[in-house]
Amino acid sequence: MNAAAVEELDLRPALTDISEEEELFRNTFREFAEGEVRPRVEEMEKAGKLDPELIKQCFEIGLMAIETPEEYGGAGSSFFNAILAIEELAKVDASTAVFVDVQNTLSTNAIIRWGNEDQKKKYLPQMAESKVAAYALSEAGSGSDAFALKTRAVDKGDHYELTGQKLWITNGNEADIFVLFATIDPEAGYKGITAFIIEKGFEGFSVGEKEDKLGIRASSTTELILDNCRVPKENVLGEVGKGYKVSIETLNEGRIGIAAQMIGIAQGAYDAALNYTAEREQFGKSINRFQAIQFQLAEMAVEIEAARLLTYNAARLKDSGKSFLKEAAIAKLYTSRVAEEVSSKAIELFGGYGYVKDYPVEKFWRDSKIGAIYEGTSNMQLQTIAKLITSGK
């Protein structure tokens, strides 16, 4: 076999290999999810917000700065470990998972990759220690057409003034730091888009109403209002007019985080159904003794495993510096379908109990639906995949 052939074989990292260090990370996250998150889930769901003490604990155990280099106060770990954390949290509570996800795979990643040294020194330690971050791209008329932004940034000499409104911003209520996108020139189209680092205390900035959502109810999803918001020029993230690159490339990574959230939801629903079918008796025996139930559980297990391998593969590719755009889109598309399908089937296996809030599976189903919508709808993932495969990539 020639050298070129060997190199070709090495393009895809092993899917299932988990190192001892990664297993230790996963076990730590699992223990935290079971010990600290699970006892709070019901109350947070009713209150529609995360427990402040839980947020504090997420910082204390390093969940909020997994990839952040140690020199900036982070764990200096891998993207793959961030994915493991999101998955473990989502098995218990998707709201907590997406809270951690947005901090790591979107906000922190954007500043690590695109920030200058002064910005990294100023913001990354804060985000590692106590400051929640959010990623603000979407607007009322700018969803799948992400660059149809109306939020305007006007050059005022030593600062920019931003005016507009952002919608559906995850972590909006908790965040102190926002990676936010606006256009400096609407006529320039996507080439006018610029990324900014916004602090909650900036003049002219405010957080609006929290959305009343179907699922992930403890996660705050809010509007942001910018009324001649003063942003120092040193808070431009990346180059002026190159915000489209910041947004696209960050979202590509973020989609793997959403895929991890979806496999966590699916696994959580499956685990609940597996336990219930072992305990529930009909016709004199537990219902998991019936072949019809066994086959349904087997189908669910197959789908979850396939979704997990797709997600881990995309994360490994990202960590290894290889192209992962197609793999990320495939993972997000497939896992969102699996999460919805598995959680729906779990409700059916619970019977009437599955339809009431006394049991956990209806929440998994409600939480799963967002996977087909945020950070790129399923239709947009199909478009990305189709474009790449028809171009031979």
Query: Based on the domain organization, do 171 and 61 belong to the same domain?
Result: no
122 and 213 both lie in a single domain: no
Structural domain boundaries enclosing 287: 245-390
Please give the pLDDT value at position 2.
44
Task: Tell whether 257 and 231 lie within a shared domain.
Answer: no
Residues 94 and 210 in one domain: no
Structure tokens at 260: 């991890």
Say if residue 150 is in the same domain as residue 82. Answer: no
Asked if residue 380 and residue 254 are part of one domain, the reply reads: yes
CA angle 250, 385, 84 (to 5 degrees): 50
CATH code at position 215: 2.40.110.10
Per-residue pLDDT tens listing for the chain (393 residues): 344 443 443 434 444 578 998 999 999 999 999 999 999 999 999 999 999 999 999 999 999 999 999 999 999 999 999 999 999 999 999 999 999 999 999 999 999 999 999 999 999 999 999 999 999 999 998 878 877 899 999 999 999 999 999 999 999 999 999 999 999 999 999 999 999 999 999 999 999 999 999 999 999 999 999 999 999 999 999 999 999 999 999 999 999 999 999 999 999 999 999 999 999 999 999 999 999 999 999 999 999 999 999 999 999 999 999 999 999 999 999 999 999 999 999 999 999 999 999 999 999 999 999 999 999 999 999 999 999 999 987
Q: Are residues 82 and 177 in the same domain?
A: no
Residue 220 per-residue DSSP state:
-
DSSP letters for 71-86: GGTS----HHHHHHHH
pLDDT of residue 94: 98
- Burial class of 385 by CB neighbour count within 10 A (0 to 12, 13 to 18, 19+): middle
Q: Are residues 101 and 203 in the same domain?
A: no
Residue 1: its pLDDT value, please?
39
Residue 339, C-beta contacts closer than 8 angstroms, at least 6 positions apart: 262, 263, 265, 266, 269, 307, 364, 368, 371
The number of domains in the chain is 3
DSSP state of 154: E
Active site residues: 375
Q: Is 319 in contact with 79 (CB distance < 8 Å)?
A: yes
Domain shared by 45 and 111, yes or no? yes
Same-domain check for residues 250 and 362: yes
Indicate which CATH number applies to the domain containing 353.
Answer: 1.20.140.10
Domain of residue 42, CATH code: 1.10.540.10
Among 207, 242, 277, the domain boundary falls at 242
281 and 382 in a single domain? The answer is yes
Whether residues 154 and 26 share a domain: the answer is: no
Domain boundary, last residue among 132, 163, 193: 132
Encoded tokens for 144: 């799948």
* Pairwise CA distance, residues 135 & 107, whole Å: 6
